[in-house]
Amino acid sequence: MKTTRPAVFKPSLLAGPAIDQTGVEERTARFTKRSIKAASKMQGLLMTLSMIDLTTLEGKDSVGKVEQLCYKALHLHDAFEGLPTVAAICVYPSHVRTAKKALQDSLVKVASVATAFPAGQSSIDIKLAETRFAVAEGADEIDMVISRGKFLAGEYEYVFDEIAAIKAACGAARLKVILETGELGSLDDVRKASQLAIAAGADFIKTSTGKIQPAATLPVTLVMLETIRDHYYKTGCKVGMKPAGGISTSKLALHYLVMLNETLGADWMNPHWFRFGASSLANNVLLQIAKEKEGCYQSPNYFSVD
Amino acid sequence: MPTKKNKSTLPRLRLGAGWSYAPAPESAASARINEQYELFINGKWQKPAKRAYIDSINPATEKKLYRAAVASEQDIDKAVVSARTAFDKYWKKMPANERGKYIFRIARLLQEQARELSVMETLDGGKPIRESRDFDVPMACNHFFYYAGWADKLEFAFPNRAPRPLGVAAQITPWNFPLLMAAWKIAPALATGNTVVLKPAETTSLSTLKLASIIEEADLPPGVVNIITGAGDTGAALVRHAGINKIAFTGSTAVGKLIQQQTAATTKKLTLELGGKAANIIFSDAPIDQAVEGVVNGIFFNQGHVCCAGSRLYVQESIAPLFIQKLKDRMATLLVGDPMDKNTDIGAINSAEQLEKINYYIRLGKKEGSLHYESAVALPKKGYFCRPTLFTKVAQSSRLAQEEIFGPVLAILTFRTEDEVIEKANNSPYGLSAGVWTDKGSRIFNMSRRLKAGVVWANSYNLFDPASPFGGYKESGYGREGGVHGLLPYVSF
User: What average pLDDT is seen over chain A?
Assistant: 96
Interchain CB distance below 8 Å, A37 and B22: yes
Question: Does the residue A10 lie in any domain?
Answer: no
Interchain CB distance below 8 Å, B289 and A18: no
Write down the domain spans for chain B. Answer: 29-274+474-492, 279-458
| Overall number of domains in chain A | 1
Q: Using a cut of 0.90, tell me whether the model's pTM lies above it.
A: yes
If we measure between CA atoms, which residue out of B487, B481, B479, B491 comes closest to residue B270? B479
- Its sign, for the CA torsion B474, B477, B482, B483, is positive
A23 interfacial to chain B (CB closer than 8 Å): yes
Instruction: Write down the pLDDT at residue A82.
Output: 92
User: Which of B121, B131, B202, B273 does the annotation list as catalytic?
Assistant: B273
- Its sign, for the CA torsion B181, B183, B188, B192, is positive
Q: Which residue in chain A is spatially nearest to B134 when comparing CA positions?
A: A33
**What's the CA gap between A231 and A62, in Å, rounded?**
40
Q: Which residues pair with B452 in a beta bridge?
A: none
Interchain CB distance below 8 Å, B19 and A26: no
Sheet holding A240-242, edge to edge: A240-242, A204-206, A174-178, A141-145, A109-113, A88-91, A52-55, A276-278
Question: Does the residue A6 lie in any domain?
Answer: no
Catalytic: A251? no
Select from B16, B22, B460 the Cβ nearest to the Cβ of A40: B22
Backbone angles phi, psi at B26, to 5 degrees: -70, 145
Q: Which residue in chain B is spatially nearest to A257 when comparing CA positions?
A: B19
Tell me: ipTM over 0.90. Answer: yes
Residues of chain B whose C-beta is under 8 A from some C-beta in A? Answer: 10-11, 13-24, 130, 134, 285-291, 293-294, 322, 325, 333, 342-343, 439, 459-460
Q: For the CA atoms of A298, A301, A304, A306, what is the dihedral angle to 10 degrees?
A: 120
Instruction: Write down the pLDDT at residue B11.
Output: 87
Question: Does the residue A11 lie in any domain?
Answer: no
**What's the CA gap between B18 and A291, in Å, rounded?**
24
Spell out which residues of chain A touch residue B375, defining contact as CB-CB under 8 Å: none
Select from A24, A38, A233 the Cβ nearest to the Cβ of B22: A38
**Quick one: pLDDT band at residue A306, thresholds 50, 70, 90?**
confident
Interchain CB distance below 8 Å, A267 and B13: yes
User: Which of A140, A143, A189, A203 does the annotation list as catalytic?
Assistant: A143
Spell out which residues of chain B touch residue A233, defining contact as CB-CB under 8 Å: 10-11, 322, 325
B20, B21, B318, B342, best to mutate vs chain A, most A CBs in 10 Å? B21
Question: Which stretches in chain B have pLDDT values below 70?
Answer: 1-9
Question: Does the residue A31 lie in any domain?
Answer: yes
Question: Does the residue A13 lie in any domain?
Answer: no
Instruction: Write down the pLDDT at residue B362.
Output: 98
CA A213 to chain centre: 16
Instruction: Write down the pLDDT at residue B213.
Output: 98
Catalytic: B62? no
Secondary structure class of B288 (helix, strand, coil)? helix
**Quick one: pLDDT band at residue A5, thresholds 50, 70, 90?**
low
A187 interfacial to chain B (CB closer than 8 Å): no
CATH superfamily of B279-458: Aldehyde Dehydrogenase; Chain A, domain 2 (3.40.309.10)
Over residues A12-59, the pLDDT tens digits come to 999 999 999 999 999 999 999 999 999 999 999 999 999 999 999 999
**What's the CA gap between A263 and A275, in Å, rounded?**
15
Bridge-based pairing of strands B246-250 and B168-172 is: parallel
Spell out which residues of chain A touch residue B22, defining contact as CB-CB under 8 Å: 36-41
SS (H, E, C) chain A: CCCCCCCCCCHHHHCCCCCCHHHHHHHHHHHCCCCCCHHHHHHHHHHHHHCEEEECCCCCCCHHHHHHHHHHHHCCCCCCCCCCCCCEEEECHHHHHHHHHHHCCCCCEEEEECCCCCCCCCCHHHHHHHHHHHHHHCCCEEEEECCHHHHHCCCHHHHHHHHHHHHHHHCCCEEEEECCHHHCCCHHHHHHHHHHHHHHCCCEEECCCCCCCCCCCHHHHHHHHHHHHHHHHHHCCCCEEECECCCCCHHHHHHHHHHHHHHCEHHHCCCCCECEEECCHHHHHHHHHHHHHHCCCCCHHHCCCC
Question: Does the residue A178 lie in any domain?
Answer: yes
Interchain CB distance below 8 Å, B24 and A35: yes
Q: Tell me, which fold does domain B29-274+474-492 have in CATH?
A: Aldehyde Dehydrogenase; Chain A, domain 1 (3.40.605)
CATH number of the structural domain spanning residue A290: 3.20.20.70
Question: Does the residue A12 lie in any domain?
Answer: no
Tell me the residue range of the domain where A40 lies: 18-302
Select from B15, B459, B460 the Cβ nearest to the Cβ of A262: B15
Interchain CB distance below 8 Å, A33 and B134: yes
Instruction: Write down the pLDDT at residue B8.
Output: 55
Instruction: Write down the pLDDT at residue B2.
Output: 43
